[in-house]
Amino acid sequence: MPIAEAAHRFLEQLFRTVVEAAHPSACLPAHLPPPPRSGRLIVLAAGKAAGSMTEVAERHYLESVGLAPEHLDGLVVTRVGYGRPTRRIPMIEAGHPVPDAAGLSAAERTLALAGGAEAEDCVLVLISGGASANWIAPAPGLTLSDKQGVTQALLRSGAAIDEMNAVRKHLSRIKGGRLARHAHPARLVTLAISDVPGDDPAVIGSGPTVPDPTTLADARAVLARYGIEPSEPVVRALADPGNESPKPGDSIFERSAFYLVMRPADAFRAAEALIRAAGCECIFLGDRVEGEARDVAAAHARLAREVQSQGRRAVILSGGELTVSMRGKGHGGRCQEYALALALALDGTAGIAALAADTDGTDGGGGSPADPAGAFAGSTTAAEARAAGLDPAVFLADNDSTGFFTRAGGLLLTGPTFTNVNDFRAILVDSP
């Protein structure tokens, strides 16, 4: 097997190991709470893993616990293409990352189910990355179009996920603890798969069941920081004290509990074990790496060269969520842009190969489940592209990483993985 092909297979094996560790079938069952002694179990789920989380939960309660089907109710909303077969709980597929009418309808039904919960019921909320887009309930005076506009502007701005969600929470009737308000006084249990740096419950899915430490002023500051000029309805909503979110100490959280069932760091441990078993050193930069994708790629390329100069055979592993400030008109995601920038930074350095991919199976793109998960890159990527008449620097300047890797080769196509612990990046460093 050619060396490059062997490196790519190993890197893809690492990626799939992380995905498997984060799948709900591996991490969810041990955390599922007992059903209520009387009353209903109401399952409300949103995000890219919502379908698989609900599939696992249904199997647990109906088969392992023997819960009577008439005591199980709820609703699931997940990204288009991420639905799973369920027996009792309806499944809706909605838009991501830009919300759509299906998500709007699902959020209204979710709020109605939560609002109908009684004290003897248990509301089980299953949250994963993507819930912010899937549960879309505009604040009073706002339309779906208003929410879509500010979401698109934030996505193009390069804002970090916690900044984006600070805005989203103050333009919503479900985010920022408001779902807990609807569910009160029922017992409320939230189980989450984290996709955010730092695993902050208030950021995962925009924290619909937990207190929100951010304020309307914080949301306005984010828009100002990135030069986003919102529509007049958004300006009014962010100036309305009635849109402030529930804060720590609010009585609506008295019967509420929140548990992380999987963190990126947990999933990456499985990859670390595989790296060491292969006889490589694992250099783990952490699961909270943030920053502009091309800048992080340049820093990681320098580190890879340094490691190689010391004669070490290693894998540089990292997670987190990078950002892309859109300056061009191309297509791609943060992982593909990182891979393209890394290829340029490694140009002429032999013996290094890398994979950057989103663990949900789609990186940027047009919201289709067939979008690429990410891309492979290495020491020869840029030179081989030039030999084929492609200038990688031109593609990077146009933010067209998908266009580049489609023509040059190197895209990773996995389809939906039914989980999400954010970005995966691995750089295999060998002797030149």
Say which residue the tokens 């008439």 belong to.
70
Determine how many CB atoms are found less than 10 A away from the CB of residue 302.
Answer: 12
Token duo for residue 333: 């995601």
Residues 340 and 409 sit within 8 Å (Cβ to Cβ):
no
pTM of the model: 0.94
- The DSSP element (H or E) to which 76 belongs, if any, is strand 72-79
CA–CA separation, 186 vs 180, rounded Å? 9
Instruction: Give the 3-state secondary structure of residue 47.
Output: coil
For β-strands 187-193 and 256-262, DSSP reports them as: parallel
The predicted structure's pLDDT at residue 5: 87
Question: What would be the CATH architecture of the domain defined by 32-262?
Answer: 3-Layer(aba) Sandwich (3.40)
Q: Which long-range contacts (CB under 8 A, 24 or more apart) does 64-73 make?
A: 65/34, 65/35, 67/35, 67/41, 71/35, 71/39, 71/40, 71/41, 72/40, 72/41, 72/43, 73/40, 73/41, 73/42, 73/43, 73/113
CA–CA separation, 383 vs 349, rounded Å? 11
CA–CA separation, 249 vs 269, rounded Å? 35
Buried b or exposed e, range 354-371, using 16+ CB within 10 angstroms: bbbbbbbbbbbbebebeb
pLDDT by residue, tens only, the chain of 432 residues? 355 889 999 999 999 999 999 999 999 999 999 999 999 999 999 999 999 999 999 999 999 999 999 999 999 999 999 999 999 999 999 999 999 999 999 999 999 999 999 999 999 999 999 999 999 999 999 999 999 999 999 999 989 999 999 999 999 999 999 999 999 999 999 999 999 989 999 999 999 999 999 999 999 999 999 999 999 999 999 999 999 999 999 999 999 999 999 999 999 999 999 999 999 999 999 999 999 999 999 999 999 999 999 999 999 999 999 999 989 999 999 999 999 999 999 998 999 999 999 999 999 877 788 999 999 999 999 999 999 999 999 999 999 999 999 999 999 999 999 999 999 999 999 987
Contacts of 131 (CB under 8 A, 6+ apart): 46, 47, 50, 204, 205, 206, 208
The predicted structure's pLDDT at residue 1: 37
Sequence ranges of the chain with CATH classification 3.40.50.10180: 32-262
Token duo for residue 131: 């819930």
CA–CA separation, 183 vs 296, rounded Å? 42
The predicted structure's pLDDT at residue 3: 56
Say which residue the tokens 């691995």 belong to.
426
CA–CA separation, 124 vs 37, rounded Å? 14
- Over its C-alpha atoms, the chain yields an Rg (Å, rounded) of 22
Q: Provide the angle, in degrees to the nearest 10, between the axes of the packed helices 161-169 and 144-157.
A: 160
Sequence ranges of the chain with CATH classification 3.40.1480.10: 3-19+265-429
CA–CA separation, 19 vs 359, rounded Å? 6
Q: Which CATH number fits domain 3-19+265-429: 3.20.20.450, 3.90.110.10, 3.40.1480.10, 3.55.50.30?
A: 3.40.1480.10
CA–CA separation, 425 vs 357, rounded Å? 7
Please state, in angstroms and as integers, the Cα–Cα distance from residue 126 to each residue in 46, 120, 204, 250, 301, following that order: 7, 19, 11, 22, 38
Residues 339 and 374 sit within 8 Å (Cβ to Cβ):
yes
Q: Degrees (nearest 5) of the Cα angle 13, 15, 18?
A: 110
Taking alpha carbons only, the member of 334, 332, 300 closest to residue 314 is 300
Classify the C-alpha dihedral 336-337-340-346 as positive or negative: negative
Give Cα 142 distance to the centre of its chain.
25
Taking alpha carbons only, the member of 3, 47, 55 closest to residue 29 is 55
